[in-house]
Each structure stands twice: as C-alpha cells, then as structure tokens.
A and B are shown apart, each in its own frame.
Chain A
Amino acid sequence: MPAVLGFEGSANKIGVGVVRDGLVLANPRRTYITAPGTGFLPGDTARHHRAVILDLLQEALTEAGLTSQEIDCIAYTKGPGMGAPLASVAVVARTVAQLWNKPLLGVNHCIGHIEMGRLITGAINPTVLYVSGGNTQVISYSEHRYRIFGETIDIAVGNCLDRFARVLKISNDPSPGYNIEQMAKRGKKLVELPYTVKGMDVSFSGILSFIEDVAQRMLATGECTPEDLCFSLQETVFAMLVEITERAMAHCGSKEALIVGGVGCNRRLQEMMETMCQERGAQLFATDERFCIDNGAMIAQAGWEMFQAGHRTPLGDSGITQRYRTDEVEVTWRD
C-alpha cells in the first residue's frame, strides 16, 4: 500500500497532499492572493510559496498521520506552469527525496487534474474538459496518451475571467472567478460578445479585448451593470466550451464528460455541460473545490499511478518544464 506525497505549486496555489491506495489522507493548501485589480507575478508568487511550503509539508504529514518513513515516493509538479514557483517547489521536492531517501517523480500538472478527477468521480473513460487559469483543453484518452482534441489558441478561459475581474477591480479573494460567478447570478441582461470557436479550438483573447474596451463605456452610460457583464461573459465563454466538448464527445462516441481544473468549480458551467450531456444521453462528472482547484493531492494521486507503473525521475532529469504538453506523457498505467 504505497503512500505518495505530492507537491503542487505551478501557479498561485501551493499544496502538499498525501494519497495512499486511492485515499486522500491530507491535502492542505495556501493561495497567494493579490490586491483587486492586480494579478500575481512569478517572483512574488515563488516568494510566497517558499515562505509556506515547509509548514505545509509538516501539516500534510500531521494530517495524514504518517512519518517520513511511511512515505514511499515524492511527487512534484514538473510542469506546465510559471517558472519561478515551479522551480521553488521542485527544489523542495528534490531535497525531501534525498533527505528521506525516497524515489522522485515529476508529474504533469494537467494529468494530475485528470487522475484526481477520475479517482474522485469514478468516471471510466470520459471526455475531459480541463479548464483553469492557465489551461483550456478538451482531452480524451487513446492508446496510452491523453490526446488533446481541442484547446485554446491563445489564453485560457480562467485567464480571460481573471483579467476581466481586474478591469472591474473585483476582489481576488477567494478567487476572481468565484466572485465573477456570484456577480453573474445577479445579472439580468445578456450583452452580445464575440463568440469564437474555430473547429475544435477556442479563442478568448478577442472576447477579452472587446469586453475590456466596452466595459467602462457601457457602465458609465448605464447600459448595463457589472453583474450583467459578468453574466454575459460567463454565458458566452462557457457556451464555447460546451460546443467544443460536445464536438469531441461526438467524435469519440463518448458517454461520459469530466470537468477538471479551477474553472470546473463554476456551477453555471456544470449546469450548461449537464444540459448538453443529457441531450446526448451522456453522464457528467465534476469534483468540488477541494480537488478542482490546484492541490497537492492530485499530484500525489498521479504520482501514485506512475509509481505503481514503475516510473521514476532521476535527480538529473528533475528540472521543471514551463511548457509541458498533456500528450507528452506516456500513460502506462492505463490499458
């Protein structure tokens, strides 16, 4: 019954998780939150992670009720993500692996989300919609790879939402996306925004530019409220995501859809995806904010699968990779 310790810190969340045989034993997390109207910079984020990671590690071990000897493997996020935060977390993972004399495993962040989603929901072979601040992909498993069927050709959907939140100076606490969601619930008017789907792919930079441009004017003239803009943005971008997910499901003949990633916590997105799935006779799976949002346990879970399949990352190959594609990993732990 191997137990794996996982470190995640590719963006503004830093988490340390412990997983053993499909059971999440610990999953503490901290979020680096900046002032309204601002985003998080790599250097500042890395500084935050360095300040809290050792405390988090201790917290994880205490919560799991394990000692270092009972940990069988150290997993960490190899990429993709922001360079400085990734590097800071990887340094700790390497040091811990040496101190405790445990094998090291570099994990793809996207695959961490997928494997945690599969574990928590029990989905067997879903079409995955992976949506977060840094990534937007539609993924399906085939022949030992998580294949990317469609993706954003520019910015991630979460990045679009977060940057729009800055325009309206919406608070980043607990997250800008959550606050946009709450405001959207009070929106009454649908403002027409650019809808950009290109085959299997989506584009969000245009809609962001447009809404950044018109927001202040429309608000100043009273044409709409900030809540209307939040509502309109969500409806538009989520409809785009539903379209490309449905297209992938049709291509694969899939009867399961799984939403992972921080934006996957959004109830409106889940509602729209559920409607689409029902119309297709498919089943929708989603997790709650413990596992949707970046966390250490997802890295530990993916690491657990990789460890059982015999993967190891030598120290010499344990560098981080800011651009680490989901389909670069050979998924040997699945048939």
Chain B
Amino acid sequence: MQNPGEGAADRASGEEGEDGQRRSRSPDAQASSQSSAPEGSHGNLPQPSGGQASGSQAAPSSPSPGHPVGSGAAVEEAAAPPEGEQAPLVPGPSGDTATATRNRLLEFSVAVPFRSPVEADMARRSLIANAQRQQVTIQPEFTVNDSTLTVRWTTEDPVLFRIYINAFLEQLALVMRNIQRLELVAVVKRGRGRSNKP
C-alpha cells in the first residue's frame, strides 16, 4: 500500500488544481442553444416534424464569460396528457403549434464556433468517438461548417437527454482548453499532404 511519506508525485485532489470547479478558459468559444443565439454564434431552431410532436426546445440562454459553454442551455418538456384527453397545443418558436403526443421526440442542438475549420474538425473527431457509444439510446449528429461545430441530439428520453448533453458540454470545454494550451503542430503539417497519423 502507498506510504504517505513516499510518492511525492501523487498528491490528493483538493490541494491543487481546480478540484473539479468548472471554469472556461476559452472566452472565444461560445455555444448557442436553440432560439437565442448570441451574436456571432449560429443556432438551429427546432422545427416540429410532420406528424410528430414538437417535443421540446432549448430555453433561451447567453453564455457569459467565465462559464462553461452551453451552461445556460436547458430543455423544456411538455406535460404528458392524461389518457383519453387531447394533448395541449404547444407553441413553436415561430408561433406554430404542434400536438404533444406520448412518443415525443426531443431535439437539442448546439453550435460552437472555433478559430479555424481545423480546430472545429479536431474537436469533432475528439468528441465523436465517445458519442458513438450512446447511439443505442440517443442519436448525436456532428457536423462541421467552416469553423463551426454543430451537434444535434434526438431522443425520446428526457433524462438521458440531460445526462448526455451535460457530459458532452463538459468534454467540449476540456477539448477547447486542451486546444488552447497545446502547440498546434498539425495545422502546419496538414497542408503538406499525408502525415503518419490518426
């Protein structure tokens, strides 16, 4: 067993580091949730699918400096109607209404601007491997347009929704801190053709 007097390199948490406190070190990055995209970010407003419930949409939020990206995003749910009663009508973002049914599909998307397309794609490749484990219960879609990484989730389970999105946002913050702190060797070499990598 470990001798407290030895192993100086092994120190308990809480004595150093951030001890789990969530702080953003990437003031450049912003995540926008649905319907209240701050200036400079890109958001996708959820649209009711034909014949299906509008599901939920993210509550308005504006990321503020010092807070992890996407921390203000939230998902609202429509209450399930009692059996035999007609479901209440839920206004959509553009004033349209939709009927909430029992099997409503929840959607949420977040768009994160990076400094360059290379960084955005790098973040996508770092994060997508973890997300692929989740595909049985929740379907994430990753796309990169120019310097913006957009991730969209759809699921019927609101609890899983919250869990996965929170986990994703925490990992996204880590990736962004990682990119900021380390030297970007790949950017220089990428333009010179194939390299010996992943």
Complex Cα–Cα for A313 and B10 (A): 29
B-contact 0/1 string along A296-329, CB 8 Å cutoff: 0000000000000000111111111000000000
Q: Scoring B residues 95 to 136 as 1 if CB is less than 8 Å from chain A, else 0, what string do you get? A: 000000000000000000000000000110111011011000
Chain A residues positioned under 8 Å from B170 (CB to CB): 46-47, 50, 88
Q: What B residues does A96 contact at CB under 8 A?
A: 178, 182
The minimal Cβ–Cβ distance linking B159 to chain A, given in whole angstroms, is 14
Q: Is the CB of B185 within 8 A of A30?
A: no
Q: Answer yes or no: A216 CB below 8 A from chain B CBs.
A: no
Q: A90 touching B130 by the CB < 8 A rule?
A: yes
A266 contacts B by Cβ under 8 Å: yes
Q: Are B197 and A103 in contact (CB under 8 A)?
A: yes
Minimum C-beta distance from A313 to chain B (A)? 8
User: Which residues of chain A are near B122, meaning CB under 8 Å?
Assistant: 95, 98-99
Stretch of B18-26, B31-39, B70-78 with 4 or more beta carbons under 8 angstroms from chain A? B18-26
Determine whether A260 belongs to the interface, using a CB cutoff of 8 Å to chain B: no
Find chain B residues with CB under 8 A from A95 CB: 122-123, 126, 175, 178-179, 182
B183 interface contact, C-beta 8 A: yes
Q: Is A54 an interface residue (CB 8 A)?
A: yes
User: What residues of A have a CB within 8 angstroms of the CB of B198 in the complex?
Assistant: 94, 97-98, 103-104, 312-315, 318
Query: Given A104-B198, A265-B2, A293-B2, A68 and B182 touching (CB < 8 A)?
Result: yes
- Counting chain A CB atoms within 10 Å of each CB, the highest count among B3, B174, B175 belongs to B174
Distance in angstroms between the alpha carbons of A174 and B196 in the assembled complex: 42
What 0/1 readout, one digit per residue, does chain A (150-192) give for beta carbons within 8 Å of chain B?
0000000000000000000000011101110110000000000
For B133, the chain A residues whose CB sits under 8 A away are: 319-320
Q: Which residues of A contact B171 (CB under 8 A)?
A: 50, 87-88, 91
Contacts of B3 in A (CB 8 A): 178, 289
Q: Shortest distance in angstroms between A49's beta carbon and chain B's nearest beta carbon?
A: 9
- Which residues in B have their C-beta under 8 angstroms from that of A254? none
Q: Are A94 and B6 in contact (CB under 8 A)?
A: no
Q: Shortest CB–CB separation between residue A274 and chain B, in angstroms?
A: 17
With a cutoff of 8 Å between Cβ atoms, the chain A residues found around residue B79 in the complex are none
Question: Distance (Å) between the CB of A78 and the closest chain B CB?
Answer: 10
Contact-residue size bin, chain A (C-beta under 8 Å from the other chain): 35 or more
One digit per residue, 1 when the CB lies within 8 angstroms of any chain B CB and 0 when it does not, for chain A 108-148 equals 00000000000000000000000000000000000000000
Q: Is the CB of B12 within 8 A of A31?
A: yes
Q: Return the chain B residue nearest A84 by Cβ.
A: B167
Which of A30, A178, A182 contacts B11, CB < 8 Å?
Answer: A30
CA A60 – CA B129 in complex, angstroms? 25
Q: Which residues of A contact B10 (CB under 8 A)?
A: 13, 28-31, 174, 293
Asked whether B186 lies within 8 Å of A174 as measured between CB atoms, the reply is: no
Within 8 Å by CB of B13, from A30, A87, A177, A316, lies A30
> Please, how many angstroms separate the alpha-carbon atoms of A293 and B127 in the complex?
28
Chain B nearest CB: distance from A295 CB in Å? 8
Known: A54-B181, A97-B198. A48 touches B126 (CB 8 A): no
Write out the residue numbers on chain A whose beta carbons fall within 8 Å of the beta carbon of B126.
Answer: 91, 94-95, 98
Interface size on B, residues (CB 8 A): 49
- C-alpha gap A316/B14 in the complex (Å): 35
Task: State which of B6, B7, B183 has its C-beta within 8 Å of the C-beta of A100.
Answer: B183
Which residue on A lies nearest to B8, using beta carbons? A28
The answer to whether B177 and A101 touch across the interface, beta carbons within 8 angstroms, is: no
Taking CB atoms, residues of chain B closer than 8 Å to A174 are 1-2, 4, 7, 10, 12
Residues in A neighbouring B18, C-beta threshold 8 A: 51-52
B19 / chain A contacts, CB cutoff of 8 Å: 48, 51
Question: Which residues of A pack against B, CB within 8 Å?
Answer: 13, 27-33, 44, 46-48, 50-55, 58, 68-69, 84, 87-88, 90-92, 94-104, 173-175, 177-179, 181-182, 265-267, 289-290, 293, 312-320
The 3 A-B pairs with the shortest beta carbon distances in the complex, nearest first, are A178-B1, A47-B20, A51-B18
Q: Can you name 22 A-B pairs with beta carbons within 8 Å?
A: A13-B10, A47-B170, A55-B17, A68-B183, A88-B170, A88-B171, A91-B175, A94-B126, A94-B198, A95-B182, A98-B186, A99-B179, A100-B186, A101-B185, A101-B190, A103-B197, A174-B10, A265-B1, A265-B2, A289-B2, A319-B129, A320-B130
Q: Apart from A174-B1, A319-B129, A319-B132, what are 12 other A-B pairs with CB-CB below 8 Å?
A: A51-B19, A84-B167, A87-B167, A88-B170, A95-B123, A99-B122, A101-B186, A101-B195, A174-B7, A177-B1, A293-B2, A315-B125
